[in-house]
Amino acid sequence: ATLSPVELLTLPDWEDTGLAVGLLLWIVAMGGSWATFLLYKGSSSFAWSQWASWLALMVFLLVVDHRDASTWSSVAAVIGLLLALADQMLKLAYIDELTGLPQRRALVSQLQHLRRRSAVCMLDVDYFKKFNDRYGHEVGDQVLRLLGSILREHRGFKAYRYGGEEFTLVFSHSDPDKLKSTLESVRSKVANYPLKLREPSRPDSKRKGKDARGKKDAAKTVKITISLGATLKEPGDTPDSILKRADENLYSAKKSGRNRVVLK
């Protein structure tokens, strides 16, 4: 408590300049390390807003004796904090926590601004209720997280979680061949993905856990399938009408055997 931060963060040779060079070097080192970590992790805008707010506050401390510079630094810090808060609130309102995909509220907003050449697809997991009853809701959540990950990584559409095990894909084109190819790619990737079921409980000791990991059949592997129903935007379509038509095509896909794509 008796140490003076000014003495610690100011280099003796530079004291006459009025600039805390020690503090400047510390800001550069810490800010650079933090930014490198954020880049490596592919962090969200919320994390970057926190970094920007911290950097602005550090600059404020650095130039606190200069009124104009310190004022702009404090304004930048406040803006960064407000952006971080806004980003967090938007995620709570529009992003599904389980899958990481935008949820139904965001979908409704998107459908109201569809282009003339667009397409919509409804998909869900085949026999999801039976799967849940057999393996439990934790495994069911694991399936939904997997599907959310596959849909996020796949290009060519914007994916939304419609509700439960249902998802909606929105395309910004109406090319039937390209659309069918993309949907078949998604269907195939899900159907061929070996899902390893997590153990319901951890072993009592490290030795038992090591022995379990050494067994090839320690984790059971299952496969899931999805059915997809897609439709092209037609003149006069409303969000409700295009969703209803896509949902009818999804029902047709399930009725005709599941694990398939129906585009009408």
Residue 201 pLDDT > 80 = no
Same-domain pairing of 72 and 136 = no
Q: In this structure, are residues 254 and 227 in contact, taking their beta carbons and an 8 Å threshold? A: yes
For 126-224, where are the E strands, in sequence order?
158-163, 166-171, 195-196, 221-222
Question: Do 138 and 62 reside in the same domain of the chain?
Answer: no
Of 66, 94, 122, the position where a domain reaches its end is 94
CA–CA distance, 148 with 151 (Å, rounded to integer): 5
Q: Give percent of the chain above pLDDT 90.
A: 32
Q: Is residue 99 part of a domain?
A: no
The beta strands (E) that lie in the chain are given as 119-125, 158-163, 166-171, 195-196, 221-222, 226-232, 261-263
Asked whether residue 141 falls in the same domain as residue 13, the answer is: no
The answer to the question of residue 135 being in a domain is yes
Q: Is the pLDDT of residue 191 over 80?
A: yes
- Same domain, yes or no, for 149 and 37? no
Question: Residues 121, 239: one domain?
Answer: yes
Domain end position, chosen among 76, 94, 112: 94
State how far the Cα of 101 lies from the Cα of 144, in Å rounded to an integer: 11
59/104 Cα distance (integer angstroms) = 41
Task: Identify which has the larger pLDDT, 164 or 121.
Answer: 121
Which residues 6+ apart lie within 8 Å of 44 measured at CB?
Answer: 87
pLDDT 10s digits, 18-68 = 556 777 787 888 888 988 888 888 777 777 878 888 888 887 777 766 667
Task: Please state, in angstroms and rounded to a whole number, the distance separating the CA atoms of residues 113 and 108.
Answer: 9
pLDDT of residue 43: 76
- Identify which of 143, 141, 142 has the alpha carbon closest to the alpha carbon of residue 126: 143
Query: What CATH number corresponds to the domain at position 220?
Result: 3.30.70.270
Check 138, 153, 165, 166 and give the catalytic one: 165
Does residue 121 share a domain with residue 90?
no
**% of the chain beyond a pLDDT of 70:** 80
What does DSSP say about strands 226-232 and 261-263: parallel, antiparallel, or unpaired?
parallel
What SS3 state is found at 164? coil
Which residue type does 24 have? L
Reply yes or no on whether 248 is catalytic: no
Q: Looking at residues 81-99, what average pLDDT do you find?
A: 76
| pLDDT at residue 90 tops 80 | no
Indicate if 111 and 230 belong to the same structural domain: yes
- Domain count across the chain: 2
- Among residues 52, 70, 94, which one ends one of the domains? 94
Judgement on whether residues 11 and 141 belong to the same structural domain of the protein: no
pTM: 0.64
Rg (CA), the chain: 26
> Quick one: 90 and 113 in the same domain?
no
3-state secondary structure at position 149:
helix
- Label residue 92 by pLDDT band (50, 70, 90): low
Q: How confident is the model at residue 202 (pLDDT cuts 50, 70, 90)?
A: very low
Helix (H, G, I), strand (E, B) or coil at 162: strand
* pLDDT, position 26: 79
Residue 222 and residue 240: Cα distance in Å, rounded? 35
The reported pLDDT for the residue numbered 162 is 92
Same domain, 123 and 72: no
Region 200-206: what's the mean pLDDT? 51
Tokens of residue 115, six digits = 């282009």
> In this structure, which long-range contacts are made by residues 57-62, counting pairs with CB atoms below 8 Å and at least 24 apart in sequence?
58/23, 58/27, 58/30, 58/31, 59/27, 61/20, 61/23, 62/19, 62/20, 62/23, 62/24, 62/27
pLDDT on residue 216: 47
CA distance 54 to 51: 5
Domain range holding 35?
5-94
Confidence of residue 197 (pLDDT cuts 50, 70, 90): confident
pLDDT score for 198: 66
Residue 247 domain-assigned (yes or no): yes
228 vs 97 pLDDT, higher one: 228
Do 124 and 178 share a domain, yes or no?
yes
Q: What is the pLDDT of residue 79?
A: 79
